[in-house]
Amino acid sequence: MAASSHTEAVDSTAVVTGAASGMGKAVAERFLTEGWTVLGVDRDAEALDKAAAELGAAFHPVPVDITDRAAVSTALGSPVGLRAVVNAAGIYPPTLLADYDEQTYRRIFDVNVLGSLNVTAEAAPALRASGGGTVVNFASIDAFAVSPGQLLYSASKAAVVCLTRSLAQELGRDGIAVNAIAPGWVDTPGTRAGGRMQQAVAAVPLGRAARPEEIADWVWKLCHGSYLTGETLVVSGGLTVR
């Protein structure tokens, strides 16, 4: 995609999952600031309505469970002017070999991997109809440097990295670039609730967690590169260096 312009913004739509809170909401806000229309996807309809009231008329709430492909197809329809898909939805309950169970495995992989696949698959025809565009998947530094207690989450995000590479090859000839972003510690309500962030950021060379807005800035940039596809950008303040 070419660099952002006023003409592009007038006609451009983005689909953002996990848009009711955290990094997904920050991404939605960034696109709205640039003049785009945003279809904000989240399974929490109440939180999505609150976000819609805050973000304004260009934010269109789409309450749907992304693990249900048929429901995603119905909810998204065929958005006109779709130029970007951002798969920010994700869950990260802690797991160990000693305590994981099949239900937790299914839930983590269904949301983090299958959900990203479902949304991308259902949005791809609209991206093609717009002449191409970009997909940005949310991976994590845990895909490269695993954290204690994140057995299944780390595996799911490694799968997202591989998924990104495969989709880049498959969709490239349609003019669709597919990349991923791998955040480190990000100061969101969900991360703070985990209770590990304050101690963990002491190991970050830049000395702090990222702000959600900083991650959103990098997502915006990934959606406006002209020749980058199949890559995963690590944004960790130096905690993980590749």
Q: What is the pLDDT of residue 6?
A: 40
Q: Per the domain annotation, does 34 fall within a domain? A: yes
Q: Per the domain annotation, does 75 fall within a domain? A: yes
* Residue from 236, 241, 240, 139 nearest 181 by CA: 139
Q: Per the domain annotation, does 135 fall within a domain? A: yes
Its pTM stands at 0.93
Please check the confidence at residue 234 and state whether its pLDDT lies above 90. Answer: yes
Q: Per the domain annotation, does 1 fall within a domain? A: no
% of the chain exceeding 90 in pLDDT = 80
Count of structural domains, the chain:
1
Read off the amino acid at residue 91.
I
Q: What is the pLDDT of residue 5?
A: 41
Please check the confidence at residue 10 and state whether its pLDDT lies above 90. Answer: no
Q: What is the pLDDT of residue 226?
A: 83
Please check the confidence at residue 213 and state whether its pLDDT lies above 50. Answer: yes
Number of CB atoms found within 10 A of residue 80's CB? 11
Whole-angstrom distance, CA of residue 78 vs CA of residue 123: 8
Measured CA to CA in angstroms, residue 124 lies from 7, 30, 242 at distances of 22, 22, 30
How deeply is 27 buried, as exposed, middle or buried, from its count of CB atoms within 10 A (0-12, 13-18, 19+)? Answer: buried
Strand, coil or helix: what is 186?
strand
Q: Are 160 and 180 in contact (CB under 8 A)?
A: yes
Read off the amino acid at residue 112.
N
Q: Per the domain annotation, does 161 fall within a domain? A: yes
Whole-angstrom distance, CA of residue 235 vs CA of residue 174: 28
| Confidence tier at 239 by pLDDT (50, 70, 90) | confident
Higher pLDDT, 237 or 162: 162
Higher pLDDT, 79 or 201: 79
% of the chain exceeding 70 in pLDDT = 94
Q: What is the rounded average pLDDT for all residues in the chain? A: 92
Q: What is the pLDDT of residue 166?
A: 98
How deeply is 196 buried, as exposed, middle or buried, from its count of CB atoms within 10 A (0-12, 13-18, 19+)? Answer: middle
For 30-83, write each residue's pLDDT tens digit.
Answer: 999 999 999 999 999 999 999 999 999 999 999 999 999 999 999 999 999 999
Q: What is the pLDDT of residue 190?
A: 73
Domain span at 97: 6-235
Q: What is the pLDDT of residue 200?
A: 78
Please check the confidence at residue 1 and state whether its pLDDT lies above 70. Answer: no
Which residues are designated catalytic? Answer: 153
CATH number at residue 149: 3.40.50.720
For 164-175, write each residue's pLDDT tens digit.
Answer: 999 999 999 999
CA dihedral 105, 48, 215, 91 (to 10 degrees): -10
Q: Enter the tokens of residue 27.
A: 């991404």
Whole-angstrom distance, CA of residue 166 vs CA of residue 74: 26
Q: Per the domain annotation, does 242 fall within a domain? A: no
Please check the confidence at residue 3 and state whether its pLDDT lies above 60. Answer: no
Q: Per the domain annotation, does 121 fall within a domain? A: yes
Q: Per the domain annotation, does 31 fall within a domain? A: yes
Measured CA to CA in angstroms, residue 58 lies from 10, 40, 89 at distances of 11, 10, 20
Q: Are 136 and 127 in contact (CB under 8 A)?
A: no
